[in-house]
Structure 1
Amino acid sequence: MVGGGQLARMTHEAGIPLGIRFKLLSDTPQDSAAQAVQNVVVGDYRDLDTLLAFAEGCDVITFDHEHVPTEHLHALRAEGHAIRPGPEALVYAQDKGLMRARLTELGVACPRHRLVTGPADVSRFAAEGGAASGSGYPVVLKTVRGGYDGKGVWVVRSEAEAAGPFRAGVPVLAEEMVPFTRELAANVVRSPHGQAVAYPVVESVQVDGVCDTVIAPAPGLPEERATQAQELALTVAAELGVVGHLAVELFETPDGRVLVNELAMRPHNSGHWTQDGAVTSQFANHLRAVLDLPLGDPRPRAPWTVMANVLGGDYPDMYQGYLHCMARDPQLKIHMYGKDVKPGRKVGHVNVYGDDLAEVRARARHAADYLRGTITE
């Protein structure tokens, strides 16, 4: 697996019961997965020679992020290495411009969008929208490549504000500011021979551009709309040739429409609830898919599961935090990543499941806040 973050750490964990020998390409020995995996190569995923050397002896290469240069993936493929998902699919998670163009070609509903060349072009795009403000602002600007967790994304309200994203000299995509009621995510997994499974559609609550809470299944979502979202994700996976896990992030609008926001071709934060709340986790099914094994049952174990991220805060004594949270809620599941604590950084998550949504959500929120240090009792 290329990438040493928490997604690789949890994917490795899912492979242990199957006896899968895991090899990791990590930026540093201190990365989350590098702390847990025995066979670690420290190197730069942007260097082709490093990637080629790393791939020797591997049956299949997969990823915990989408940042490996597309041309390097093709080079690996040309040398006979199995890449899953392949570069032909992964490019649509790497390049937002290509992703929007391909989804539009497939007839998938997306926010209005266009590649823009500068602040004046952003104003022209805004005016084309005919928003009630008259100017068409605000507009969402995104770097075409490299953004995640709110990084590389700006909400601009004027041509002057639009200047900032262009200073880096990278391509920029403009999108309309969608007046959505909430964010959803449809997670599916597809194998090389076309078997696919779909997890329940979830609600994803974002705070400052970072996933804070995930509720599975999305409360109040009509069954027909949930089925449509699952079918959409399965169609996208098949049409793009995805192998492994695909997360389709969605906007639900006041008029009942569902628009595709982003794609991620790897295990995803919106699927962390599956570790404890589903028969087969996203991590286990991602491994099964890339190894072309039969996929596992994606159904939930309980009526409700809530995942709450633990973000960096004040940790005076993590052991005391465990004592309090575990004693208070013996069914609580805590997953920490071994990361240094930084404000706002994802350092772990908790999963809680049960029959009553309000109770489950309160339990998850309490544990995440206590571990962060924002509450003390």
Structure 2
Amino acid sequence: MDTRTGLPVVGMVGGGQLARMTHQAAISLGQSLRVLSESPDDSAALVAADVRIGSHTDLPALRDFAKGVEALTFDHEHVPTAHIEALEAEGVKVYPGSKALVFAQDKGMMRERLAAMGVPAPRWRRVTTKDEISDFAGGAWPVVAKSTRGGYDGKGVWMLNTPADAEALLATGTPLIVEERVTLRRELAALVARSPFGQVAAYPVVETVQRDGICVEVLAPAPGLDEALAIDAQQLAIDLANTLGVVGLLAVELFETADGVVVNELAMRPHNSGHWTIEGARTSQFEQHLRAVLDYPMGATSLTAPAVVMANVLGGEPGGISLDERLHHLFASDPGARVHLYGKQLRPGRKIGHVTVLGDDMTSVRARAARAARWLQEGV
């Protein structure tokens, strides 16, 4: 509890852009967000008042960080499970808890749990040899290989086209699962929040557009999505949150197929597929996550406009006019575009921010968002 305000202190492990945007949400609630950051130059460390420098893999640092917080939460899933269990045993309120978070940390355990629940998912297998991968493929190459832990933004995911590809990957020693390559219509995401009391709130199902393994666009609501399928996807996310005991945000990444939806990945934190909610929903995913971990009643999740598009801004090649000058031009040409920059050093392909555009027509809104993101990336 903050002795100055009488309001809770939430600790967030990780100092990236998710912590930065959660800090912004905490301000309006009067709450204090304490951030554990690896570097004073991390996104959240540049703006938050209560920053502790330390590693998420250092249990003593985590213990010290957790002193005095009402709840401990995360902006990534990379904290060792054993460390989370140790904190819980010492009485720290950790949300999501270790028994839930492990299914977002370990893809093999996730697939096993989903199978036990009867949740639609791609055919998969744990593998350690080239023959096991070839047997799984059965001649139907390519197959998708995933590292069981640590992947994000396309990292830790490989498309294997031949047994030779499999052999080269296995030589790295990375623990792997393989999955069938799903024939899909598009990718969707269902975002829900759940409190310790068990209250849940579901956002409209969105379409996510990937390029080179990185999400480049989110369309809210998913255009042309059958209402019954949308409800099924929301109910699936709610059921997963309840069954797994998730507290906070749960993002369920989905493949839409001819037969319905199948689960691709789970994330138990604010998620890239929910950045649009800052302007596009009555309650942002970041405020909702804080409400959830503090066991506050959930906020409204309805859209603020008929069409909302979020486009990620990636770092471009060096040169050209400055990012500040690009902002000047963008705001002059499209005053309605909302820009969120993360305070990151520019690097080609790195997520440095996002742009959100709202309107009445998805086609025109999408074009505006894409143009804004391209201009900030390339200056053209």
TM category (shorter chain) comes to over 0.9
Pairwise mapping of residues 148-297 of structure 1 onto structure 2 (< 5 A)? 148-253=152-257, 255-297=258-300
Residue 328 of structure 1 deviates from its aligned partner by 1.2
Question: Larger deviation: 317-326 or 92-101?
Answer: 317-326
TM-score, normalised by the number of residues in structure 1: 0.96
Is the aligned partner of 1:100 residue 2:111? yes
Asked if the contact 1:245/1:285 (under 8 Å) is kept, the reply is: yes
Q: Counterpart of 2:74 in 1: which secondary structure?
A: coil
Which of 359, 363, 369 in structure 2 is aligned with 1:354? 359
For residue 167 of structure 1, report the CA deviation from its aligned partner. 2.6
| 1:347 match: secondary structure | strand
Structure-1 residue corresponding to 2:131: 120
Q: Per-residue deviation at 1:120?
A: 1.3
The number of residue pairs the alignment matches comes to: 367
User: 2:43 and 2:342 mapped to 1: Cα distance?
Assistant: 6
Aligned-pair CA distance for 1:12? 0.7
Identity among equivalent positions (%) equals 57
The answer to which of 136-145 and 161-170 deviates more is 161-170
Deviations 1:154-177 (A, max 9, x none): 000111101233233232101001
- Residue 313 (structure 2) pairs with residue 307 (structure 1): no
SS of equivalent residue, structure 2 residue 255: strand
Deviation string, structure 1 residues 99-137 (Cα, Å, up to 9, x no partner): 00101111100000010111111001111xxxxxxx121
Alignment deviations for residues 332-362 of structure 1 (CA, whole Å, 9 cap, x no partner):
1000000001110000000001101111011
Which residue of structure 1 aligns with residue 346 of structure 2? 341
Which secondary structure does the structure 2 equivalent of 1:61 belong to?
strand
Deviation at 1:178, TM superposition (A): 0.6
User: Runs of at least 4 residues of structure 1 off by over 3 A?
Assistant: none
User: Matched residues in 1 for 2:57 and 2:149: separation?
Assistant: 14
Query: Partners of 1:114 and 1:70 in 2: how far apart?
Result: 23
| Cα offset, 1:306, TM superposition | 0.2
Distance of 1:4 and 1:118 partners within structure 2: 37
Partners of 1:165 and 1:172 within 8 A in 2 = no
Letter in 2 for 1:292: D
Gaps of 5+ in 2: 1-11
Q: What are the Cα deviations for residues 172-217 of structure 1, in whole angstroms up to 9, with x where unaligned?
A: 1010011111100000000000000100000000000000000000
1:227 Cα deviation from its structure 2 partner: 0.4
SS of structure 1 residue aligned to 2:300: coil
SS in 1 for 2:240: helix
Alignment partners' CA distance in 2, 1:91 and 1:312: 32
Deviation at 1:323, TM superposition (A): 1.2
Query: In the TM superposition, what is the alpha-carbon distance from 1:365 to its structure 2 partner?
Result: 0.7
Letter in 2 for 1:332: A
Normalising by structure 2, report the TM-score. 0.95
2:8 match: none
Instruction: Kindly state the Cα deviation for residue 316 of structure 1 after the two structures are TM-superposed.
Output: 2.6
Counterpart Cα distance in 2 of 1:179 and 1:15: 41
Q: Aligned partners of 1:55 and 1:214: how far apart in 2?
A: 34
1:230-287 C-alpha deviation (Å, 9 max, x unpaired): 000000000000000000000011x242110000000000000000000000000000
Aligned match of 2:375: 370
CA RMSD of aligned residues (A): 0.9
- 2:121 corresponds to which letter in structure 1? C
SS at match of 1:162: helix
Q: Distance in 2 between matches of 1:363 and 1:13?
A: 25
